[in-house]
A and B are shown apart, each in its own frame.
Chain A
Amino acid sequence: MELSNKEKFIKKTLENQSHVLDKDALWQSVQPHLVSNDSRKGIFWFVFSGVILLFLSVSGYRFFDLHRLSTQEIVYQNDIVTPVESTSIAVPPGKTPNGNNITESTIINTEIVTKANTHEFESTTNQSIALDHELNTKKHSNRNLSKPNESINIETNEKLLIDKEHSRKNKNPDLSGSISQALFTQAGAHAEEEDKKYSVPRTEALPALTNIRISEISDLSSLDKPVLSEDFIQPIQVNPKNYFVTLRFGMNSSLIRNEINTQDVFISTNEFSHEKSMPSFTGDVLFGRELKNGWNLFGGMTYNQNVIRYVNTEIILESGQVNGIQSTYESRDGTVTTTQGLINQNTLTSYDVRWFRKHRSLMLSAGIGKDLIRFNRISLSADVAINYILSSAHQGYYFSNSPTAFTKFEDGEEHIYNGNAKLLLRGGLGINYSLDHLSIGMHSFYIYNQNSLTGKNNFYQTGISTIGIQLGLTYYPRW
């Protein structure tokens, strides 16, 4: 719309009006209302320290709670396992269980109670059979060996006492596993216990650092007229070609995906369900450069550690028949005759198998990131990267296609994780608070690993992906 000459004059007059202001008085009236830098810093550090404290509290609680659960509560679960009431009874000579004189063979069912090595109880029968299988990860220790008809020893009137304290004292719950069985029958009792310990030093958390700041976008041309904005949300600032270094460190959780490759295997897929992730650590050191429109390129090193724990505390009842004393007959002259034959046997097996595996990887990381939203000093960013494993180390136990079901990693030993998959994909979202040369933020990430194992004709494949959250610090030296 064209302005008339008069309107132009009015505009010019309004624009160029001048006033005499008392600047000193104005400054005196304004200054008390200005927010000082200190108070802003104080608010920022108060909020930031609160976030850090919350993060540490939650992660600490999570870590120790899991640790406590895995090392104590599961053990105590065994303590409260009540042995199945035995149907075995003590029979006076020449009497049936009902008190009648024995006139013919009587079959007495027996009960076999299998108990974990952390339980203490006393046989109420006058005879018991005990069978104890001990886990030895290198030799045996699979439930397949725990059949009740194997190696049964018989003793009479023997009290079975398993020293709980002994078991606990010698157990490293994190790193050990054991299967034991004890069988009680009317025929006799024998207890044999042995606890195998596996002691692997706990790996210290490796610190690592990082973060990303998102550069700024937009190549907006300067505005000739003022722009009204309801809430001062402004497009991201143009300030490309800044270099940055990012340190991030935080906790992760492993997402495990196991799959059997062939049918001819010893272990069942049910074994995989006993695996669960433990909190671990991920750290990054990244160097990057900001580009236009909020994009940035970065590269650096990533340390990632996955800890996976196997806990099996199942209690399994199995029924079968074994050879034993079917009946006892006492003649009038006091001669006792026993008849051998098949007797019913119930076996209650309480498994207490625990092991862990730890995978540590040092990776080369390269990726691209972008500022998605910027609100004042706070920005939301996203990034994707490719990680290449430079070096990896493994510790603990892993599934093996053998009756023992799992095998311990040994230094220098050829195992299925040798030559593991090298390339991983990574994506992340971050929220950052920017200061002049620093940016502080939290960054969530997901590292996708299709298969941690490669080749080797392995009987199963496992993809150990990682999800986690990190605290990050980015420094912009403005070279």
Chain B
Amino acid sequence: MTEKEIIRLCKKRNARGQRAFVDQYSDLIYSICMRYVGSRSFADDCLQESLIHILNNIDKYEDRGKFNSWLSSVTVRKCLDWIKKEKRKASVQLDHVAEPFSDEIISMKLEKEEVLKFMELIPDNYRIVINMFLVEGYSHKEIAKYLGITESTSRSLLSRGRKIIREVFENEKMLVVYKNSGSKKKIVSKH
């Protein structure tokens, strides 16, 4: 079934088209969820919510631009909403710039799995900004607008995130992750 056919059927609330949509696009949506929420269990929930939201609102897609781009933007929004909602209990502040702190040492090498592990371990605020900037290509203005932070905070988060990436992967230094109570994580590099 072609993309156009799937969209057409989904707009008509056709179950066959919706099933085809799940088959064809859930991987893409799940990878976005993984990038943003950082853990598989959270990503599963986020994927389900995103799929429901997209299928119930697919008529808002009006055949302009790439469908994948529209899908990504909606999923990113949904992920960010999900993070705000689910992580609020843990008092995660998106504009909080963590200070270096060390406790537990994990050795990271520049392999795909380590990259994914790295993204899972870094705090939400770093992960979101790195994803939005490096992967999705948003500007700091766009990131700031959506996350409700200042552009300078966005720049600061990205700068620190890139520094961590450099130190961990380029300089092959150790990534130190401290997990304190709850899900709060802080990340530092150790020289």
A contact residues vs B (CB 8 Å cutoff): 3-4, 6-7, 9-11, 13-15, 17-19, 21, 23, 26-27, 29-31, 33-37, 40, 216, 218, 220, 222-229, 232, 234-239, 376-377
Q: How far is the CB of A23 from chain B (nearest CB, A)?
A: 5
List of B residues within 8 angstroms of A27 by Cβ: 19, 22-23
Which residue of A is nearest B18, CB measured?
Answer: A34
A6-B145 Cα distance, complex, nearest whole Å: 28
Chain B, 110-161, CB within 8 A of any chain A CB: 110, 112, 115-116, 118-119, 130-131, 134-138, 142, 145-146
Counting from the closest, the 6 A-B pairs by CB-CB distance are A226-B73, A37-B13, A237-B62, A223-B65, A226-B72, A13-B115
B90 close to A (CB within 8 Å): no
B174 close to A (CB within 8 Å): no
What 1/0 mask marks residues of chain B from 63 to 84 whose CB sits below 8 Å from any chain A CB? 1111001111110110000000
Q: With A226-B73, A237-B62 as given contacts, are A33 and B138 in contact (CB-CB < 8 Å)?
A: no
Q: With A7-B165, A13-B112, A237-B63 as given contacts, are A224 and B69 in contact (CB-CB < 8 Å)?
A: yes
- B27→A19 contact, CB < 8 A: yes
Q: With A6-B110, A11-B134, A228-B73 as given contacts, are A220 and B31 in contact (CB-CB < 8 Å)?
A: no
List of A residues within 8 angstroms of B13 by Cβ: 34-37, 40
List of B residues within 8 angstroms of A7 by Cβ: 134, 162, 165
List of A residues within 8 angstroms of B31 by Cβ: 14-15, 17-19
List of B residues within 8 angstroms of A21 by Cβ: 26-27, 30, 47
List of A residues within 8 angstroms of B30 by Cβ: 19, 21
B55 close to A (CB within 8 Å): yes
Q: How far is the CB of A30 from chain B (nearest CB, A)?
A: 5
List of A residues within 8 angstroms of B1 by Cβ: none
B51 close to A (CB within 8 Å): yes
- B26→A6 contact, CB < 8 A: no
- A226→B51 contact, CB < 8 A: no
CB-defined A-B contacts under 8 Å, sample of 8: A13-B115, A13-B116, A15-B31, A18-B31, A21-B47, A27-B19, A226-B72, A227-B73
B177 close to A (CB within 8 Å): no
Q: How far is the CB of B14 from chain A (nearest CB, A)?
A: 8
- B76→A34 contact, CB < 8 A: no
Q: How far is the CB of A249 from chain B (nearest CB, A)?
A: 29
B184 close to A (CB within 8 Å): no
List of B residues within 8 angstroms of A11 by Cβ: 134-135
A9-B116 Cα distance, complex, nearest whole Å: 12
Chain B, 162-178, CB within 8 A of any chain A CB: 162, 165-166, 169-170
A235-B63 Cα distance, complex, nearest whole Å: 11
List of B residues within 8 angstroms of A235 by Cβ: 64
Q: With A6-B169, A237-B63 as given contacts, are A30 and B48 in contact (CB-CB < 8 Å)?
A: yes
List of A residues within 8 angstroms of B146 by Cβ: 228
A218-B63 Cα distance, complex, nearest whole Å: 12
What 1/0 mask marks residues of chain B from 1 to 39 whose CB sits below 8 Å from any chain A CB? 000000000001101001100110011001100110000
- B62→A26 contact, CB < 8 A: no
The interface residues of chain A, by DSSP majority, are classed as loop
A232-B58 Cα distance, complex, nearest whole Å: 11
A179-B90 Cα distance, complex, nearest whole Å: 87
What 1/0 mask marks residues of chain B from 43 to 66 whose CB sits below 8 Å from any chain A CB? 000011001100111011011111
List of A residues within 8 angstroms of B136 by Cβ: 225-226
- A222→B66 contact, CB < 8 A: yes
List of A residues within 8 angstroms of B112 by Cβ: 13, 17
User: In the complex, which of the residues B15, B48, B52, B165 contacts A10, with contact meaning CB atoms closer than 8 Å?
Assistant: B165
A15-B26 Cα distance, complex, nearest whole Å: 14
List of A residues within 8 angstroms of B130 by Cβ: 10
Q: How far is the CB of A387 from chain B (nearest CB, A)?
A: 34
- B64→A226 contact, CB < 8 A: no
List of B residues within 8 angstroms of A228 by Cβ: 73, 76-77, 138, 142, 145-146
Which residue of A is nearest B114, CB measured?
Answer: A13
Q: With A9-B115, A36-B13, A228-B77 as given contacts, are A4 and B26 in contact (CB-CB < 8 Å)?
A: no
Among B63, B118, B134, B170, chain A packs the most CB atoms within 10 A around the CB of: B134
Which residue of A is nearest B72, CB measured?
Answer: A226
- A26→B51 contact, CB < 8 A: yes
Which residue of B is nearest A233, CB measured?
Answer: B60
Among B12, B70, B115, B145, chain A packs the most CB atoms within 10 A around the CB of: B115
Q: How far is the CB of B52 from chain A (nearest CB, A)?
A: 4
List of A residues within 8 angstroms of B19 by Cβ: 27
Q: With A21-B30, A220-B64 as given contacts, are A37 and B56 in contact (CB-CB < 8 Å)?
A: no
- B134→A6 contact, CB < 8 A: no
Among B19, B60, B74, B165, chain A packs the most CB atoms within 10 A around the CB of: B60
Q: With A19-B27, A30-B48, A31-B15 as given contacts, are A10 and B60 in contact (CB-CB < 8 Å)?
A: no
Which residue of B is nearest A239, CB measured?
Answer: B63
A228-B77 Cα distance, complex, nearest whole Å: 7
A29-B22 Cα distance, complex, nearest whole Å: 11
A222-B119 Cα distance, complex, nearest whole Å: 30
List of A residues within 8 angstroms of B55 by Cβ: 30, 34
Q: With A14-B119, A218-B64 as given contacts, are A35 and B56 in contact (CB-CB < 8 Å)?
A: yes
